[in-house]
Amino acid sequence: MGRRRKRIPTIPDLSGGVVTVSAQPQRTPYTRAADYVAAALIFLQDNLLLSEPLRPEHIKPRLLGHWGSCPGISMVYAALNSLVRERGADVLLVTGPGHGAPAIHANLWLEGTHEDYDPALARTGAGLRELARRYCAPDGFPSHLSPSVPGTLHEGGELGYAVATAFGAALDAPDRIVACIVGDGEAETGPTAGAWHSTKYLDPVTCGAVLPVLHLNGYKISSPTLFATMTDAELTDLFRGYVWDPRIVDVTSDPPGDPLGAAVLDAHGTIRGLQHAARTGDRPVRPAWPMIVLRSLKGQGAPAEVERTAIEGTFHAHQVPLPDVREDPEQREALESWLRSYRPQDLFDKDGRPTADVLADVPDRGARIGSQPAANGGRLRHPLPLPTIEPHAVPLPKGPGSATASPTRVLGGWLADLMEATAARRDFRIVSPDELASNKLDAVLKASGRAYAWPVEEYAEDLSPSGRVMEVLSEHNCQGWLQGYLLTGRHGLFPTYEAFASIVDSMANQHAKWLKMSREVPWRAPVSSLTYLLSSEGWRQEHNGYSHQGPGFINNLLDRKSTVTGVYLPPDANTLLVTMERLLDETGKINAVVAGKHDAAQWLGLDAARAHCRSGASAWAWAGTTDSRPPEAVLACAGGIPTVESLAAADLLRRDLPDARIRFVNIVDLCALAPPGRHPHGMPDEQFRALFGEETPVVLDFHGYSSAVHQLLHGRAHPERFHVRGYVEEGTTTTPYDLLALNGTTRHDLAITLLRHLDPRSGRSRELAENYARHRDALLRELRSTGVDPAEITEWRWTP
């Protein structure tokens, strides 16, 4: 099996010089050993060092993994090892092509990190056999990177997020180099395209740097990648347009040398030069940070051809190049020849230990990439110095409804205090898609400006290279930045419009899986929770229209593992303050907090808000009409606008049906509705019965889709008695009351629904329901003629 090489021509850069190196790096003992171990993990369950001829029983019954990117990953790992050894660099590695996990495992085993975490994975023949047994085994490591793999903070299970995550890890870590391997398939994704702009937010004084390595090995699962078909000149033009300084390294041909290692060292020198200039008063105006474009063969080292199928350098090397090796003698012979081509007898001693020649390229124990402390960021995390919320609380001098405030504006004042309190520590950031001011959180900009490292000639406010508020119209960037920041031991908050949080549904899913798996890894310390603040909520997006009306992010979180998710709907400013004070001190979860930004009536004083939030849900006696006897019906609500409409409905019934026994319940922690066995926030059955009775009809006005509430109530006694009103996917550009009416959630609809479930009172319930329906329809006719909601709606106030 001869080595087939394809040389890709270098096109001169007409704009002034491409840095291109065309050379096949000399295969050092270390990289040969890494490639051998990676291939062995995919294929072998015994005879790991080929001490005897390969037989079918030595082959794993299930072959899983992606060989195609493994050789390139090990090339990069080896080059970074040189950087660590020669320059003492503090390197964290983010691996975008996470299915290249065999390569990462191989390097972790060779450098001794696996053994440090688990002596059973020692650098011996027995340790290698155990590593091979665990790889893709039910009780072992998955085929991709995961929290169980030391040195990792990015799974790569979904492509597109490596670059943004790497930048998040580099923020406020001035000595850290975050190397980021980006697969050429991953580079086709929209999130990756947006993330290349992250350098414009990177402050060379207060932050570290990201060194991306775009790995062009030519193919996806079954077709060429877009980037691999581009010429060097086109690639250079593209990345120079992003204002990167690209260095192209082509290792598809045979001359000796280590061009990738040289390129990494040169890039490091450029990074340190930019940082030194900035830190000594000569801040670069438009810094072009170095990056590397690595051209290599897909699955380099695999057989060139087997059974008339080309493998090395083609998409056939993407996953398992020899899928029938256990049964097919020709494939098995090809595998044995392939593995023996690495000369394992020269790489490992008789006990399976890597030789001194192999270990010569491994950094000292405390500096190994796999043992990078930031990759287990929970151990670096310090609790936030949370300011007291008392100075920001809204007083209620005359009881519920006697004060008006914007919940998010009140919160913004407290967050500004938090920004001030963390100014020296620099471990708290806010990321947002250009919506901070819109969501009335702009008070924080007086404590920390908007991060932006480039000069802006046009009019702009509150920009600062060292700012810790990051605004960009890319939810993917915000999510990736914050994940990288949190996973390396820091804290943050993600405010956004509610309707557009769903843009990062899949990223939230991946992070939830990471957190769930992290809880099962004993050596992983918990990191700060990722909290979304969803403002500009759908019920007040009637002016922006149907496209901005979408509460579905709640449903997405509720479908995740209950131990790592929470959903909160604080009804006013004080409950929002209490909720955020709790969540920003929490670890290991993903939380969604839905809060209003418009001025609205406030319902609970601070002490009452604290008690309410501790309970998750509570009865507001002042809003109900029941006496000491059990209620005939419960009127419940969850969310700011539902609270207003439910109180208005209670007001109608208190006026028109004063003898009815109606209990009013507000829910702030949505997951409290779940049975305690299905969610850790689930309230005990006794508390649930105390609020909602045993068979009492409940009308519940919910902020989002009613399916979310029904999902949570499953398992409670008589869940069919809950009649949930919520968003039913009806909307347009209209008025607030009309939007409520379109979805059947006005105060009149709520009162009508409750009356239908009360015992008849000489026809009074039916008569009231008909009156409310007629009145609602009259209000709708009026608003259609005037274009605004009637004063009866807009000027309604709660009166004791």
| pLDDT over threshold 90, residue 764 | no
**Angstrom distance (rounded) from CA 333 to CA 760:** 85
What is the average pLDDT across 402-410? Answer: 98
Q: What is the pTM of this model?
A: 0.95
Q: Collapsing DSSP states into helix, strand and coil, what is residue 372? A: coil
| pLDDT over threshold 60, residue 178 | yes
Q: 122: pLDDT confidence band, cut at 50, 70 and 90?
A: very high
Please tell me the predicted confidence (pLDDT) of residue 15: 33
Q: Are 486 and 377 in contact (CB under 8 A)?
A: yes
Please tell me the predicted confidence (pLDDT) of residue 331: 94
- Nearest Cα residue to 604 out of 595, 612, 615, 596: 612
Report DSSP letters for 211-228, one per residue. EEEEEE-SBSSSSB-TGG
**Chain mean pLDDT for the chain:** 94
> Could you tell me where in the chain the CATH 3.40.50.920 domains are found?
616-794
Tokens at residue 157, please?
Answer: 């299970």
| pLDDT over threshold 60, residue 737 | yes
Tell me the CA distances in angstroms from 619 to 100, 608, 611, one per residue in order. 54, 11, 11
Residues 6+ away with beta carbon under 8 Å from 553? 498, 501, 502, 505, 508, 532, 534, 592
- As a whole-number percent, the residues of the chain with pLDDT over 70 amount to 96
Q: Which CATH architecture has domain 404-594?
A: 3-Layer(aba) Sandwich (3.40)
Report DSSP letters for 274-332, one per residue. HHHHHHTT---SS--EEEEEEE--TTTTS-SEETTEE-TTSGGGSS-S-TTTTT-HHHH
Strand partners of residue 565 = 590
Please tell me the predicted confidence (pLDDT) of residue 17: 35
> Could you tell me where in the chain the CATH 3.40.50.970 domains are found?
21-379, 404-594
Q: How many helices (H) and strands (E) does the chain have?
A: 25, 23
Tell me the per-residue pLDDT of 162-173, one tens digit each, with 9 for 90 and over.
999 999 999 999
| pLDDT over threshold 90, residue 10 | no
Please tell me the predicted confidence (pLDDT) of residue 255: 52
| pLDDT over threshold 50, residue 661 | yes
Q: Which residue is listed with tokens 């992983």?
A: 524
Please tell me the predicted confidence (pLDDT) of residue 14: 31
Tell me the CA distances in angstroms from 757 to 625, 633, 695, 699, 771, one per residue in order. 16, 8, 12, 9, 16
Residue 246 burial by Cβ neighbours in a 10 Å radius (0-12, 13-18, 19+)? buried
Q: Are 50 and 39 in contact (CB under 8 A)?
A: no
Please tell me the predicted confidence (pLDDT) of residue 256: 63
Q: 790: pLDDT confidence band, cut at 50, 70 and 90?
A: very high
Tell me the per-residue pLDDT of 669-728, one tens digit each, with 9 for 90 and over.
999 999 999 999 999 999 999 999 999 999 999 999 999 999 999 999 999 999 999 999
What is the average pLDDT across 228-237? Answer: 96
Please tell me the predicted confidence (pLDDT) of residue 761: 61
Q: Which residue is listed with tokens 């775009």?
A: 214
Helix (H) or strand (E) holding 418: helix 407-421
Please tell me the predicted confidence (pLDDT) of residue 641: 98
Of the listed ranges 78-92, 455-469, 505-519, 728-742, the one predicted with least confidence: 455-469
Of the listed ranges 1-5, 406-410, 789-793, the one predicted with least confidence: 1-5
CATH of 21-379, one of 3.40.50.300, 3.30.70.270, 1.25.40.10, 3.40.50.970: 3.40.50.970
| pLDDT over threshold 70, residue 760 | no
Q: Which residue is listed with tokens 């650098």?
A: 123
Q: Which CATH architecture has domain 616-794?
A: 3-Layer(aba) Sandwich (3.40)
How distant is the alpha carbon of residue 424 from its chain centre?
A: 26
Please tell me the predicted confidence (pLDDT) of residue 26: 56
Tell me the CA distances in angstroms from 616 to 137, 566, 691, one per residue in order. 41, 11, 11
**Angstrom distance (rounded) from CA 122 to CA 110:** 9
Q: Are 458 and 497 in contact (CB under 8 A)?
A: no
Residues 6+ away with beta carbon under 8 Å from 264? 79, 80, 82, 83, 211, 292
What is the average pLDDT across 759-786? Answer: 91
